[in-house]
Structure 1
Amino acid sequence: MTQLTVLMPVFNAEKHLKEAMDSILSQTFEAFEFLIIDDGSTDHSAAIVQSYKDPRIRFYQNKVNLGLTPTLNKGIKLATTELIARMDADDISYPNRLFKQVEYLQANPDCAFVSSLARVVTEDGQFVRVDRFKSEHFYYNLTFFSWIYHPTVVYRKKAVEEVNMYTVDYSEDYELFWQLSRRHKFYNLPEVLLTYRESAESLHMVTKKAEYDRAHYEQLLRNLRYYAGDNYDLPHSYLECFRHNFEPLLAQRKLGNIISCVKELDYITGCILSKKENINYDAAAIKKAAKYKRDYIISHFTRHLSIFQKAFLILQLIPSKEILKSLRAYLYVSIKN
């Protein structure tokens, strides 16, 4: 009995398509349909898919290039199962990925979607990193950006339909995850179940970078206003800092702006803590995630400050009971360097 739909859009993906398909077709969990939609490819992608004879494959071709969002929504409508696993045509799913994610969702019927850690590689497969993000910190950090790798996700069709599926053309996954997280529980499995290929030529990095940056900016501001009020606004450099792009704030060379930015983050954290009605709300986890983010931002800026500026920053931003400890650490590092 088919229990899961693996949804994979394809567009000019001939270089890595076979490896991606093989990683799905060799899963230890076998009760799935493999729904592949070619979005008007002009290379040999369609021929590669058609060369497979596995009966689990359902192949569709868009007559013209519709784009990712319409293609994904088409796939959700075509899916015959309640559970849908996302897959991209240049990534590699580990053999037990689907088994572990289906097992988790079956054991946790109140969870709408589950993701996993990913091993990030370059276009040619060279290792880049593994982000060891803790699932309990996702709720807080989803305010600022998405830690969730889109092709690691398995979600419930009904929950996705409740929020009108994918609704924007850029940063479509972040928007979906945010909307789902307003109504439903979600979880990130603490193990690597997919190799994620980070291409320097991908849409969000080159071809449509301006569009994706604008979408992220609008989503971030909307998220902050959800907690802090409709009229809440911040300088663009502060918003970029919250997304861990520190260059705009550093370029201003104003220590007061850095201090103000961190204090705004504290204010936002307080607003998130005060909005308790979300099903994913966990005050202890929010506080811990906020501390990690705050410490990360401060530590980045201190690397670019003089010893006296570091001391002043610490006095302004570090709780009194931690000041001596922090000063010793930063002064030691400064003198040593």
Structure 2
Amino acid sequence: MKKPKITAFMAAYNVSDYIAESISSVLNQTFKDFEFIIIDDGSTDDTALVVKKFNDSRIHFIQNDGNKGIPFTRNRLLDLAQGEYIAILDSDDIAYPDRFQLQLNFFSSHPEAALCGGHGKIINKNGIETDKKIIVPTDDLVNMRMLFGNPFINSSTMFKTEIFRELNGYRNFALAEDFDLFIRISQKYKVANIDTFLVKYRIHGENITIKRSKDQEKHELDILENMQENLGISFNRNTLNLHKELFTNNLSDIHFPAYFELLVAMKTANMKSKRFDVAKMNQFLFNKWYEILLSKRSNIKALSWYFKKELYCWEYSTFKQFRKMFKSSFRGLIN
């Protein structure tokens, strides 16, 4: 029996109000050669009843024996997925009709890539579009950007099944397991985003990441430790905490010198490990340092910090950056 090109996957838990619209958005894709695995993770509402109302041979509906959690549920794909690619869609989000085709086009023209995602538009609990968007980076620095944030919308991601199996799927990092997987993929393969809207991302009071954000934070240090180790940094609790502040954009004025030292350590380590292209990484870290300085509107030391030789290179600098640093230093003098 011919295997499908794509395995569309949806994990569901108590989403009876939203899942019908999400399922329909998959079934209505312009690209038709896919199987659709939906796993109900022990819902206590009418989620299963809603799913069973759909009559489409591509749907394979499975129910866990109780609530097993997201990592366990998603890892059932290790045995179940038949497609060459796995396309994730959360059970409260909506895929644009041409999403699968656009991502397959990308993989066709970029065979070295293992993972790709795209932009998202925010919808409310009623499915109505808001004026907010999630614009993800689409340049060739996506893998570096993962050092300081998650550049992917999970619901928009598609990745190669063989690589998912090679990495043994998701680790038990509840609510951060997707980012951890993306990091591990990026350490061996090309990852990217395409410059188009692929999904509508629903915000509502029942979002797991909203309700349980503290659980997610507990795994961030483990992920950052993995990134620092892979880069070649001799990490410790202090470097991990500083990295977390940069990752969550929760900056402290008193830590500005320490942020600088961390970026220098990243630069030095990368020059040895060659984890990233050295020239691109050096410029990326300089621009990150500029962003950090810019976050403090009034800073008497901004200009001198901007020109610190450990990160500064005249080729990276722009007049616009210099002008903003000068203004920041001037405001620091007069305040």
TM-score bracket relative to the smaller structure: 0.7 to 0.9
Aligned-pair distance for 1:194? 1.0
TM-score, normalised with respect to structure 2: 0.86
Work out whether 1:184 is the aligned partner of 2:173.
no
Matched residue pairs, number? 321
Work out whether 1:330 is the aligned partner of 2:331.
no
Work out whether 1:317 is the aligned partner of 2:306.
yes
Aligned-pair distance for 1:273? 4.2
Larger helix percent? 1
Aligned-pair distance for 1:230? 4.3
Aligned-pair distance for 1:231? 4.5
Gap runs ≥5 in structure 1: none
Aligned-pair distance for 1:203? 2.7
Deviation track 1:29-84 (CA, whole Å, cap 9, x = no partner) reads 11111111111111111111111112211111112111111111113421112211
User: Which residue matches 2:207?
Assistant: 202
Distance 1:104 1:235 in 2: 37
Q: Which amino acid aligns with 1:289?
A: F
Work out whether 1:91 is the aligned partner of 2:96.
no
Q: 1:115 to 1:331 in 2, by over 3 A?
A: same
Distance 1:183 1:216 in 2: 21
Q: 1:134 to 1:105 in 2, by over 3 A?
A: closer
Q: 1:10 to 1:191 in 2, by over 3 A?
A: same
Q: Which amino acid aligns with 1:269?
A: K
User: Which residue matches 1:291?
Assistant: 286
Distance 1:197 1:269 in 2: 38
Q: Which amino acid aligns with 1:213?
A: E
Aligned-pair distance for 1:163? 0.8
Work out whether 1:35 is the aligned partner of 2:33.
no
Deviation track 1:241-290 (CA, whole Å, cap 9, x = no partner) reads 2114325x24xxx3xx31222232232133234422x5xx4344434433
Work out whether 1:268 is the aligned partner of 2:269.
no
1:311 is paired with a residue whose SS is coil
Aligned-pair distance for 1:213? 0.4
152-161 or 216-225, which deviates more: 216-225
108-117 or 69-78, which deviates more: 108-117
**What are the equivalent positions in structure 2 for 1:155-166 lying under 5 Å apart?**
155-166=159-170
Kindly indicate whether the alpha-carbon contact (under 8 Å) linking 2:149 and 2:248 is maintained by their aligned counterparts in 1: no
**What are the equivalent positions in structure 2 for 1:1-337 lying under 5 Å apart?**
2-124=4-126, 125=128, 126-170=130-174, 171-207=176-212, 209-234=213-238, 237-246=241-250, 249-250=252-253, 254=254, 257-276=255-274, 278=275, 281-300=276-295, 302-303=296-297, 305=298, 310-319=299-308, 325-330=323-328
State the identity as a percent: 22
Kindly indicate whether the alpha-carbon contact (under 8 Å) linking 1:144 and 1:242 is maintained by their aligned counterparts in 2: yes
1:234 is paired with a residue whose SS is helix
Aligned-pair distance for 1:108? 2.9
Kindly indicate whether the alpha-carbon contact (under 8 Å) linking 1:14 and 1:48 is maintained by their aligned counterparts in 2: yes
2:230 is paired with a residue whose SS is helix
Distance 1:155 1:134 in 2: 16
Kindly indicate whether the alpha-carbon contact (under 8 Å) linking 2:136 and 2:193 is maintained by their aligned counterparts in 1: no
TM-score, normalised with respect to structure 1: 0.85
1:265 is paired with a residue whose SS is helix
Q: 1:83 to 1:35 in 2, by over 3 A?
A: same
Deviation track 1:149-194 (CA, whole Å, cap 9, x = no partner) reads 1111111111111111111232101111111112222221121111
Kindly indicate whether the alpha-carbon contact (under 8 Å) linking 1:111 and 1:186 is maintained by their aligned counterparts in 2: yes
1:28 is paired with a residue whose SS is coil
Q: 1:235 to 1:284 in 2, by over 3 A?
A: closer
Q: Which amino acid aligns with 1:87?
A: L
Aligned-pair distance for 1:145? 3.0
Q: 1:234 to 1:199 in 2, by over 3 A?
A: farther
Deviation track 1:88-127 (CA, whole Å, cap 9, x = no partner) reads 1111111111001112223333222221122234445433
Q: 1:232 to 1:331 in 2, by over 3 A?
A: closer
47-56 or 285-294, which deviates more: 285-294
Distance 1:122 1:245 in 2: 25
Gap runs ≥5 in structure 2: none
Distance 1:36 1:336 in 2: 61
Kindly indicate whether the alpha-carbon contact (under 8 Å) linking 1:23 and 1:95 is maintained by their aligned counterparts in 2: yes
Q: 1:104 to 1:235 in 2, by over 3 A?
A: closer
Distance 1:65 1:59 in 2: 16
